[in-house]
Structure 1
Amino acid sequence: MKKIVFWAMMTLGVVSLQSCDKDDDDRLQVSANLQEAFDTRYPNVSRVDWEQKGQFYEAEFVDNGYENKAWFTPDGAWVMTEYDLRFTQLPQAVQDAFKAGAYASWKVDDVDKIEKTDGSVTYVIEVESGEKEYELTYLEDGTLIREDTEWGEHTPVAPGQTSEVKDLVKAKYPQAVILDIEEEKGGIEVEIHDGGRQKEVYYALNNGTLSWVHTMYEVERREFTTLPESVQQVFTELSGSGMVIDDVDFFETATGNYYRVEVEDQGTDKYVYVAENGEMLQMKLKNYA
């Protein structure tokens, strides 16, 4: 937890307040409208520190001893807030889902609640076991929508882009339920539930224009026997060569569909890319895929 701990400076008998001075020359000064918008939404917080992040202004602040972050547009429109929580403050459904899941025995390193202007709320649990780390994202009802081994700072999506990407998703997947929208790798990733599956839809953002790149979903092991025979044959050959198949994801793209097969090869994690017709396209180390 990012609980703020204040150490008493016994030898001096005082605590420096310089870091709390809003007029500190090292701190970003924001417009009166933006500061008013923040103060209206969070009137009783302390240690407010502003930073410009791309097209947004991020306010880091302390509330009840915990660090939180809120993002606003330059004109003062609130976009997203990330709250630091204790595990016991999670909704009971999320706690139960975590305790019943594959990472229940892992150490919980950090817990956050992410609230967005479109009304969506997600909960993020960072866990670790030895040298392995995962970031698990849950909906309020306990649905696990994302498992990330690599992640950076959560970045909001502009309100206009949120509306646009929702329209694009609905045009392509009319029956889909949108679970989450988040900036990812310079574009926008949308978690959806469609046709009984949870899918990730990725849109590239170029010069303010969103374009669909791919849709991905996990292929369950029980589904392997329903895949094209040529693909099943590749799986057999991989296993026969000593590789262990961990996960299989299916990618739909404008230029053709393919399977990404994660394998363990003598202690090294690799991705094997296989076309729908069974042609092996390429093999890469997982960290470089």
Structure 2
Amino acid sequence: MKLKMYFLMLALGVCGAAMQSCDDDDDNLKVPEKLQSAFSQKYPEASPKWKTRGNYYIADFQDQNYESEAWFTFDAVWLMTETDLPYAALPEAVKNAFQNSEYRSWRPDDVDMIERESMEPVYVLEVEQGSREMDLYYNAEGILIKAVEDSEDDSEDYLPVELPEGVKNFLQEKYAASEIVETDREHGQFEVDIIHDGVAKKVLFDNNGNWLSTSWEISPDTLPEAVKTAIQQAINDNYVGYEADDEPGMVETPDGNYYRIELEAEDGREVILKIREDGTLLK
């Protein structure tokens, strides 16, 4: 019995070590010639060290003295390259945008430049304030794409999501000359962040690729007078003590457009109002 247990534990230990090695650097890892060729075509001057992670090959290398990781499929298809940058290496437009943003008092901690096939480069700036951490996504022109709570450092979150052809065609037709900067899939929906006419917009599709909505932030000064009146009326009638957030949103849908207004009370309670251009309050 003891002998059987010994061999069982030995086998488990070997398997565990083998699985762990899949996520570790291995200077002796031999990769297919097709994969090495794909890397060399993209980075002819670099000398990579290969490792595997899940269903991906990852090449660690130096790109202009910066540490980089190039991700490939097992079929030697390049997916993305993540490069660690110092804050000083950010484009001036990104630094200026950050220094003039609501996060300007936060401490910059880490910077990643993400390059992906058929997508614009994105700069992810991790900032800290006390126990809070935020990831700020910018394009090279300094347009803030999104700001999300930083949960964990997982490069797989940067991997692009393959979009259905229907989604690609819709974006080309409705938002001509737009630039795709982020793709994601959550809760059965495709989420695509684009830059359209110099504005960051979030486009949602259902699991079948049908368009659900497009939203973006606007200036309070651009709200129609009928919408401003409806906001004040809602506060007077039902939300005394609430104040409208200074970042209203515009939302396009197949059933018509509306303005998204967030009301917030001093105790932190929040209410979302949806108002048509003519001041009609949606339920």
TM-score (structure 2 length as normaliser): 0.71
CA–CA separation in structure 1 for the residues paired with 2:131 and 2:231: 33
Give the alignment partner of residue 194 of structure 2, picking from 186, 191, 194: 191
2:267 alignment partner AA = G
If each structure's helix is expressed as a fraction of its own residues, which one has the higher value?
2
1:45 corresponds to 2:48: yes
Runs ≥4 in structure 1, deviation > 6 angstroms?
none
Query: Is the Cα contact below 8 Å between 1:244 and 1:265 reproduced in 2?
Result: yes
- What's the % identity of the aligned pairs? 31
Query: Larger Rg: 1 or 2?
Result: 2
CA–CA separation in structure 2 for the residues paired with 1:273 and 1:31: 56
1:156 corresponds to 2:160: yes
1:192 alignment partner AA = I
Q: Shift of residue 214 of structure 1? A: 0.7
Query: Is the Cα contact below 8 Å between 1:60 and 1:67 reproduced in 2?
Result: no
Query: Is the Cα contact below 8 Å between 2:80 and 2:116 reproduced in 1?
Result: yes
Q: Which residue of 2 aligns with 1:214?
A: 213
1:251 corresponds to 2:251: yes
Alpha-carbon spacing, 1:78–1:269, altered in 2? closer, same or farther (3 Å) = farther
Give the alignment partner of residue 21 of structure 1, picking from 26, 32, 38: 26
Alpha-carbon spacing, 1:251–1:108, altered in 2? closer, same or farther (3 Å) = same
SS in 1 for 2:191: strand
Q: Which residue of 1 aligns with 2:79?
A: 79
SS in 1 for 2:248: strand
Q: Shift of residue 163 of structure 1? A: 7.0
Q: Which residue of 2 aligns with 1:98?
A: 98
Alpha-carbon spacing, 1:173–1:141, altered in 2? closer, same or farther (3 Å) = closer
Q: Which residue of 2 aligns with 1:108?
A: 108
If each structure's strand is expressed as a fraction of its own residues, which one has the higher value?
1
Q: Shift of residue 125 of structure 1? A: 0.6
Q: Which residue of 2 aligns with 1:140?
A: 140
Query: Is the Cα contact below 8 Å between 2:119 and 2:179 reproduced in 1?
Result: no
Task: Encode CA deviations 1:63-106: one digit per residue, 9 max, x unaligned.
Answer: 48976443323421212112111101112232233223332221
Q: Shift of residue 240 of structure 1? A: 5.5
CA–CA separation in structure 2 for the residues paired with 1:149 and 1:21: 33
Query: Is the Cα contact below 8 Å between 2:212 and 2:254 reproduced in 1?
Result: yes
Query: Is the Cα contact below 8 Å between 2:134 and 2:148 reproduced in 1?
Result: yes
Aligned residue pairs: how many? 249
Q: Shift of residue 129 of structure 1? A: 1.5
Q: Shift of residue 230 of structure 1? A: 6.0
CA–CA separation in structure 2 for the residues paired with 1:140 and 1:162: 27
Alpha-carbon spacing, 1:214–1:23, altered in 2? closer, same or farther (3 Å) = same
TM-score (structure 1 length as normaliser): 0.70
CA–CA separation in structure 1 for the residues paired with 2:244 and 2:213: 23
